Amino acid sequence: MKDIRIVVVGSTNMDMVVHAHRLPLPGETVLGGDLIMAAGGKGANQAVAAARLGARVTFIARIGRDMFGKQALENFRREGLDPRYIIEDPDAPSGVALITVGPAGQNIITVAPGANNRLLPEDITRAAEVFAPARVVILQLETPIETVLQAARQAKATGAFVILNPAPAPTIPLPAELYQLIDLITPNETEAHILTGESSPESAARVLLDRKVASVIITLGKDGALLANGSQPLERIPGFSVKAVDTVAAGDCFNGALACALAEGQSLPQAIRFSHAAAAVSVTKPGAQPSLPTRNEVEAFLAEQNR
Ligand code: RIB
């Protein structure tokens, strides 16, 4: 394995997934298939995605001292993540996500954060040693914002490239300091709209650049992604068309792949194409972490597209 080091700070959940013939409306019950339990959580998904693609990943997170926490830790060890800063919290349950998947692979998700909400800035300070050798640090918003901010400060101080995937979309404005600390922000279209109030991805990207983020990637589902990189012209980078069975963690797969590719030194457009390929493979399989592809799978997919 090449020495491409990444730090992921974020959430880990047990996903409880039911596939249904359609998503329920408010107040409605629909009957679905059998319950599937699979490892999830935006932080953990991104960490596992980057590790399967070849990065050396330290994951900083909190789990409960319960069955799900134990399973998560075993899973992280199996995936080869550095588990030294996964903290077992005796006073909170592990995070759980309730997920319904519809017929076109679309989903609705409600998260019970549990121990994820107790990942503190001190937990990040204690893990200072892993920030120094990291080329990329990636953050999301399923843990407290003070913790995200502390991680961004620490990452910036050691010269790492800092990615913020602002998911789930915040309910209050993000601190101005956070925008200034991050090198790249990667909202999807809905998150970009919530962050900026703008309806078009192009206008949202410009607002985010004005907030002093160096680069912006707005993911657009089947329409690919919009890249706004400093003063360069905005660029649309198309994705790949595949038959989706389950889009849970497609965004996490994209972000984990992006962290890996950028840490390897790929340019932003190259890294986006690589991440589109990883996400395309992931949506053809069910589950969050079970769907995340290996390096060989992504390279085979790209080779197939180039034929
Ligand atoms: O992004 C998908 C993830 O969101 C799921 O794995 C679920 O746990 C929630 O965090």
**Looking at the domain assignment, is residue 20 inside a domain?**
no
In a domain, 105, yes or no: no
How far is Cα 179 from Cα 149, in angstroms, rounded to an integer?
Answer: 10
Asked, for residue 250, whether it belongs to a domain, the answer is yes
**CA torsion, points 53, 217, 209, 60, in degrees to nearest 10?**
-40
Q: What is the DSSP string of the chain?
A: ----EEEEE---EEEEEEEBSSPPPTT----B---EEEEE-HHHHHHHHHHHTT-EEEEEEEEESSHHHHHHHHHHHHTT-B-TTEEEETTSPPEEEEEEE-TTS-EEEEEE-GGGGG--HHHHHHTHHHHTT-SEEEE-SSS-HHHHHHHHHHHHHTT-EEEE---SPPSSPPPHHHHHH-SEE--BHHHHHHHH--SSHHHHHHHHHHTT-SEEEEE-GGG-EEEEETTSPPEEE-------S--TTHHHHHHHHHHHHHHTT--HHHHHHHHHHHHHHHTTSSSSGGGPPPHHHHHHHHHHHH-
CA 147 to chain centroid, in Å, comes to 16
Residue 9 resides in a domain: no
Query: What is the CATH number for 57?
Result: 3.40.1190.20
To the query of whether residue 123 is one of the catalytic residues in this protein, the response is no
- 95 CA: nearest ligand 1 atom: 8
Nearest-CA residue for ligand 1 atom 8 is: 41
For residue 273, the one-letter residue type is R
What's the pLDDT score for residue 105?
86
121 Cα: distance to centroid of ligand 1 (angstroms): 22
Residue corresponding to tokens 């996490």: 252
**Whether pTM exceeds 0.85:** yes
Nearest CA to ligand 1 atom 7: 41
Backbone angles phi, psi at 10, to 5 degrees: 170, -160
pLDDT per position in the chain (307 positions), as tens? 568 999 999 999 999 999 999 999 999 999 999 999 999 999 999 999 999 999 999 999 999 999 999 999 999 999 999 999 999 999 999 999 999 999 988 899 999 999 999 999 999 999 999 999 999 999 999 999 999 999 999 999 999 999 999 999 999 999 999 999 999 999 999 999 999 999 999 999 999 999 999 999 999 998 999 999 988 899 999 999 999 989 999 999 999 999 999 999 999 999 999 999 999 999 999 999 999 999 999 999 999 998 8
* Nearest atom of ligand 1 to the alpha carbon of 251: 1
Give CA–CA dist 50/4, Å, rounded.
10
| Residues 216 and 209: beta-carbon distance below 8 Å | yes
> Is there a domain that residue 162 lies in?
yes
Which domain, by its residues, includes 77?
A: 44-88+117-305
**Best residue among 12, 42, 46, 106 to mutate for probing ligand 1, ranked by most atoms within 8 Å of CB:** 42
On whether residue 37 sits in a domain, the answer given is no
Q: Is residue 3 part of a domain?
A: no
The tally of domains found in the chain comes to 1
**Residue 19 resides in a domain:** no
pLDDT, position 1: 52
C-alpha to C-alpha distance for 11 and 13, rounded to whole angstroms: 7
Q: Could you tell which of 107, 111, 255, 283 is best to mutate to test the pocket of ligand 1, judged by most ligand atoms within 8 Å of the CB? A: 111
